[in-house]
Structure 1
Amino acid sequence: MGEELLGGRYRLVRLIGRGGMGAVHEAVDTGLDRRVAVKRLLAAGGPDSGSTALRRFQREAQALARISHPGVVHVYDSGVHEGTPYIVMELLDGVGPAALVEGHGPLPPALAAEIGLGMCRALAAAHTAGVLHRDVKPTNVTVTRAGRVVLQDFGLARLAEEQAITQAGALLGTPQYMAPELIRGELPGPEVDLYGLGACLYLMLTGTLPLGADAVDVGVLVERAVGPGIPRLAERHGSGIPHALAHLVDTLCGQEADRRPAAADVEGLLAGLPTADDQRALRELVARCVREQAVEFVYSPPAQDSSVPEVLDWAAIPGPVPATPDAHRPLTLSDGTLQMMLSGMTADNARSRQREAVNLVLRGDLQEAVRMLTAVAQVCASALGPDHPTTLTSQYWQAVCLARLGAGAEALELFSRVNTRTEQRRGRDHD
């Protein structure tokens, strides 16, 4: 029996992440032979949460369909499969601002302003289309290897002409990046998105969370957000941040919503900064971060857990994923997800996945290829042996990925290891 296709077309490959409303999978569009991201609705909670989640899910699809801009994730399709709604979107490569900060500390003002400018252009397009994002934060932004800044996850979006969808007692969003008026329950306007932009710029410029890393309790975060607020950048001496940029961030993060400039005005201010024109440096930083993630993934992959059930379908990766929406962790396979993938893979479908991964390498989808090849190599080493041709072939293509990502020394070491094992195998075969 063949693998089940979502909507008769999309084959799920791996779980990327899970939030309060939906789970996002990497998938293959079998009709067009391309990789996509598929978001599926997960209704949970009280008696009314299912209908509320469904309305928000539908609103997200409508919001994305309204906006046509390179800075907003593209939506390709939507539908319902066995009663579960889904949205099909482009699959983004690259990393988020939080991963850049985690790996390299505060960003140079030029690069932070470049990312902020891309975010601002996306917000301007959304606001022009009558869409409020309402959840602007670093984990909802991706900077691709081509330097494209993309805003995603419109799960809390609101259309200008529609009433807000609310739940009693629910705080929707992330307090570290939520505008104080949104926390107070006031009717949101475009200014809430500009506050989120300012808070993201604060993180990128300082390397610290806007309301402090010591505030792990939501109540403390809320008190700080509606009280003293985000510390002023203009008062930080010796930071190296241009005064105009620091003043802009302070204005965006201010308590007074009516004093925050519109997205189009912020775009003009950022574009006018002498530091805000460094696409090449941004691409180099993203490439470096992607390279470091790939090396870590190849050389220090999550260990296989023998306690995971042995019979699991590769295409259906169920189970809970740790909810860390604001963790500064790269968007990679979680340990649990990789373990499930490993336990559900046989030698036969590992070879099939290996061929699929090689095609990704040849197409230049190196981040996805590294993840898949790592899972295949682990399964084959365990089931077939470290010297089996399928294991060695997977490791060879892992080395190709590292080389193409610029990790020459690590790639050479892996090539050498594969070559040594191959020669040893040939010697044993000839004995």
Structure 2
Amino acid sequence: MIAGHYRLVERIGSGGTGVVWRAVDERLERAVAIKQILTQPSLPAGEKEIVRQRASREARNAARFQHPNAIVVFDITDHHGDPCLIMEYLPSQSLAVVLSSQGPLPLPQVARVGEQVASALVAAHRAGIVHRDVKPGNVLLSENGTVKITDFGISKAKGDVTLTATGLISGTAAYLAPEVARGAEPTPASDVFALGATLFHALEGEPPYGTNPNPLALLYAAANGQLKQPRNAGPLTDLLLSLLSFEPEDRPSMTDVRDELADFAEFGDGTETTRMLATHRPAGRRAAPTLDRRAAQADISTSEMMAAAATISEPDLPPVRPAAPGSPPTRSHRVAKPEPEPGPNRRPLLIGVGVVAAVAVVAAAMFLMFSPPKTNSPSQPGNSAAASASAQSGSSSAASAVGQTKSVGAVDAQQAIDETQNFFDLLTESDASEAWSYLTPAAQQLYGGQQAFKSYWEQNRVMGYNTIDVASGATSTDGSVTVRVASVDYKGGQSKSANLRFVKGNSGKLLIDSDTRA
């Protein structure tokens, strides 16, 4: 018995630093998984304290966000001096176990697994958490088809203190991004690479750096970007190589990874899907370097590698499994994608934005602006009156026009919901330049210009949102559809609902014809 009410039932796995148990919470009468982190009696007091801090950080970070594709941590307790994490129990196998027993998986299945893992990582990144150890051993495949990521043991959130000794690298060498192998701090782009390496393993039967049993050799290959060429990725090859780009800024955002994998999982791996992925690919993504170019980009000496030591993760603990009765949970803010419309789509949020591009955007915005704003102080979230008062010159005529743009055809309700998610994802990621293209000219004119739009959303940044659905009676006779977002969270802690009217433009692209200001 642990903590007086967790009764251990069976040992379901063990690793280098702990053991995982299936247990019963006798107070709440539910199955749980308990990860007991073992500390050796001979371990110095200072190192024991670091182990406890890591366990606390894992519990804290896992509790900071909840997502249908991430294992929930319920509690943390202590048993004879060893930290114990109390988690949901999921009857499952890890992707590592499945690959070991079955070999490479078919493309559609890999896409479905990757889409669900990416969806959880999008939520983690929005919460300011970098997982730092995405790998097959931490991806759980449940009996009902749900996929969940677990083990935030070395994840780090903004504001966390460093618990890894100076000069050490946390992670699993076979899936490390090159910059992390060289000693850089992990970022969301590092998780993108690790997910790419995990999907590579699922498709090819081995990690992209190979299966050398020497961790230092793997670390050397990682630092130099010495990847194998994928042979089984088919139409996903381009996306896979973009995830595995040597430079972090060449990788797509986790949001774009999720969406492209969802497209593939829905439409399959036929010729039409190949065309759709090429057409649907976000604008602005740089082509992934060829493997030959990667070798030219990276050059780290053996002596440099010998100076770095990698803290390789413990052997994969089996899936930490939580109860998952019934059908797989659905996302509150995501629906199945409709047949994609032609034209531009989302582009990845680049870590570094080029100076030339920034200057060009500013110059274009200044050129398009007929007159300067009347005020430089955008309204705070929740203050629509203040926002209207601070609208740029010309906004009064726009206000009368917004909501009156005619739709050239009937708007698909599910597509409108999906585009609403895309719009708020871009604002969440501070990608206002792309979000601007979602507005009709009338809706754009409310801001006075693209630069004013960008400034407004820098000051009123969207921090999160939930529950998107079609408003009651929202389908109009003119073909437009109104979508309601139950709650949008803004910088500063304020929240409010939003209604977006969608019309179909001449190009077939859905556009927002309403006042989108907070």
**TM-score after normalising by structure 2:** 0.50
Counterpart CA distance in 1 for 2:221 and 2:45 is 32
Which has the higher Rg, Structure 1 or Structure 2? 2
Match status 1:119 vs 2:117? yes
Residue 27 of structure 1 corresponds to 23
**Any conservation in 2 of the 1:113–1:275 contact (CA below 8 Å)?**
no
Match status 1:39 vs 2:35? yes
Counterpart CA distance in 2 for 1:246 and 1:204 is 13
Distance 1:277 1:92, change over 3 A: farther
**Alignment match of 1:325 (pick from 302, 309, 315):** 315
Residue 218 of structure 1 corresponds to 215
**Deviation of residue 93 (structure 1)?**
1.0
Residue 229 of structure 2 corresponds to 232
Q: Deviations over 1:271-320 (max 9, x none)?
A: 22266669xxxxxxxxxxxxxxxxxxxxxxxxxxxxxxxxxxxxxxxxxx
**Structural RMSD (CA):** 2.6
**Any conservation in 1 of the 2:138–2:316 contact (CA below 8 Å)?**
no
Residue 246 of structure 1 corresponds to 237
Q: Deviations over 1:337-396 (max 9, x none)?
A: xxxxxxxxxxxxxxxxxxxxxxx9xx99xxxxxxxxxxxxxxxxxxxxxxxxxxxxxxxx
**Any conservation in 1 of the 2:15–2:315 contact (CA below 8 Å)?**
yes
Match status 1:17 vs 2:13? yes
Residue identity (%): 37
Code of the residue aligned with 1:38 in structure 2: it is I
Residue 145 of structure 1 corresponds to 143
Counterpart CA distance in 1 for 2:97 and 2:48 is 33
**Any conservation in 2 of the 1:229–1:255 contact (CA below 8 Å)?**
no
**Deviation of residue 13 (structure 1)?**
2.2
Match status 1:264 vs 2:255? yes
Counterpart CA distance in 1 for 2:37 and 2:265 is 44
**Deviation of residue 191 (structure 1)?**
1.1
Number of positions where the alignment pairs a residue of Structure 1 with one of Structure 2? 278
Distance 1:138 1:157, change over 3 A: same
Code of the residue aligned with 1:273 in structure 2: it is F
Q: Give SS of 1:88's match.
A: strand
Counterpart CA distance in 1 for 2:316 and 2:63 is 26
**Alignment match of 1:67 (pick from 56, 65, 68):** 65
Counterpart CA distance in 2 for 1:229 and 1:326 is 24
Distance 1:193 1:324, change over 3 A: closer
Match status 1:181 vs 2:179? yes
Q: Deviations over 1:30-76 (max 9, x none)?
A: 11222211122323455632122111110000011111111010122
Distance 1:228 1:81, change over 3 A: closer
**Any conservation in 2 of the 1:21–1:53 contact (CA below 8 Å)?**
no
**Deviation of residue 257 (structure 1)?**
1.2
Normalized per residue, the structure richer in helix is: 1
Counterpart CA distance in 1 for 2:268 and 2:154 is 31
Code of the residue aligned with 2:248 in structure 1: it is A
Q: Deviations over 1:145-200 (max 9, x none)?
A: 11111000110010122233212454422100111222222121111111110011
Report matched runs for 1:245-394 at 5 Å.
Answer: 245-273=236-264, 325=315
**Any conservation in 1 of the 2:13–2:19 contact (CA below 8 Å)?**
yes
**Deviation of residue 259 (structure 1)?**
1.3
**Deviation of residue 100 (structure 1)?**
2.5
Q: Give SS of 1:172's match.
A: strand
**Deviation of residue 25 (structure 1)?**
1.4
Counterpart CA distance in 2 for 1:185 and 1:28 is 42
**Deviation of residue 20 (structure 1)?**
4.2
Code of the residue aligned with 2:234 in structure 1: it is P
Residue 110 of structure 1 corresponds to 108
**Any conservation in 1 of the 2:61–2:152 contact (CA below 8 Å)?**
yes
Counterpart CA distance in 2 for 1:232 and 1:128 is 32
**Deviation of residue 11 (structure 1)?**
1.2
Distance 1:255 1:326, change over 3 A: farther
**Deviation of residue 143 (structure 1)?**
0.9
Counterpart CA distance in 2 for 1:211 and 1:47 is 37
Distance 1:218 1:206, change over 3 A: same
Code of the residue aligned with 1:206 in structure 2: it is E
**Deviation of residue 221 (structure 1)?**
0.6
Residue 272 of structure 2 corresponds to none
**Any conservation in 2 of the 1:43–1:49 contact (CA below 8 Å)?**
no
**Any conservation in 1 of the 2:7–2:26 contact (CA below 8 Å)?**
yes
Residue 92 of structure 1 corresponds to 90
Q: Give SS of 1:203's match.
A: helix
Counterpart CA distance in 1 for 2:167 and 2:19 is 23
Counterpart CA distance in 2 for 1:331 and 1:91 is 9
Distance 1:175 1:14, change over 3 A: same
Residue 382 of structure 1 corresponds to none
Distance 1:276 1:102, change over 3 A: farther
**Any conservation in 1 of the 2:209–2:227 contact (CA below 8 Å)?**
yes
Counterpart CA distance in 2 for 1:277 and 1:67 is 31
Residue 162 of structure 2 corresponds to 164
**Alignment match of 2:53 (pick from 55, 74, 82):** 55
Q: Give SS of 1:273's match.
A: helix
Gaps of 5+ in 1: 279-322, 333-359, 365-431
**TM-score after normalising by structure 1:** 0.60
Match status 1:8 vs 2:4? yes
User: Which one is further off, 27-36 or 147-156?
Assistant: 27-36
Q: Give SS of 2:171's match.
A: coil
**Any conservation in 2 of the 1:132–1:189 contact (CA below 8 Å)?**
yes
Counterpart CA distance in 1 for 2:227 and 2:157 is 28
Report matched runs for 1:401-412 at 5 Å.
Answer: none
Counterpart CA distance in 1 for 2:267 and 2:135 is 20
Q: Give SS of 2:61's match.
A: helix
**Any conservation in 2 of the 1:194–1:263 contact (CA below 8 Å)?**
yes
User: Which one is further off, 218-227 or 80-89?
Assistant: 80-89
Residue 130 of structure 2 corresponds to 132
Normalized per residue, the structure richer in strand is: 2
